[in-house]
């Protein structure tokens, strides 16, 4: 896939190591284009059904599902519901995750 965007992290995530917001969509269709970013992304689906493509694998998610997108994974989100779809987005930098993890040998794999 050569048609994607490298998403630059905004000042909030650069300063704090994390960012949290809500995404809401009112029609079926693409929510994002293909993109990558340095942050790990966690999505929690509140309403609606979505198709998430990450590194050429498709996942169909529904309310109550939790999705983890690794750092620098090429991904996109597509709303499948005709009605409102809503999900929480939590982005965490790898450095933030290392700072809050225990300092044992396994934390480097985080």
Instruction: Please give the Cα distance from 7 to 84 (Å, whole number).
Output: 25
Question: Is-above-0.75 flag for pTM?
Answer: yes
Quick: pLDDT tens for 7-48.
666 676 667 788 889 999 999 999 988 999 889 999 999 999
Q: How many Cα neighbours within 13 Å face the side chain of 77? A: 27
- Do 93 and 8 contact (CB within 8 A), yes or no? no
User: What pLDDT, on the 0 to 100 scale, is given for residue 61?
Assistant: 98
107 phi-psi bin (left φ>0, alpha ψ -120 to 50, beta other)? alpha
Q: How many Cα neighbours within 13 Å face the side chain of 26? A: 0
């Amino acid at each position: 896939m050569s048609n994607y965007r490298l998403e630059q992290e905004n000042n909030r995530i650069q300063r704090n190591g994390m960012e949290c917001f809500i995404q809401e969509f009112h029609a079926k269709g693409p929510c994002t284009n293909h993109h990558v970013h340095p942050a790990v992304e966690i999505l929690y689906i509140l309403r609606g059904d979505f198709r998430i493509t990450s590194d050429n694998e498709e996942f169909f998610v529904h309310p109550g599902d939790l999705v983890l997108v690794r750092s620098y994974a090429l991904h996109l989100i597509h709303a499948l519901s005709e009605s409102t779809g809503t999900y929480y987005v939590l982005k965490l930098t790898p450095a933030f995750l290392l700072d809050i993890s225990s300092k044992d040998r396994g934390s480097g794999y985080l």
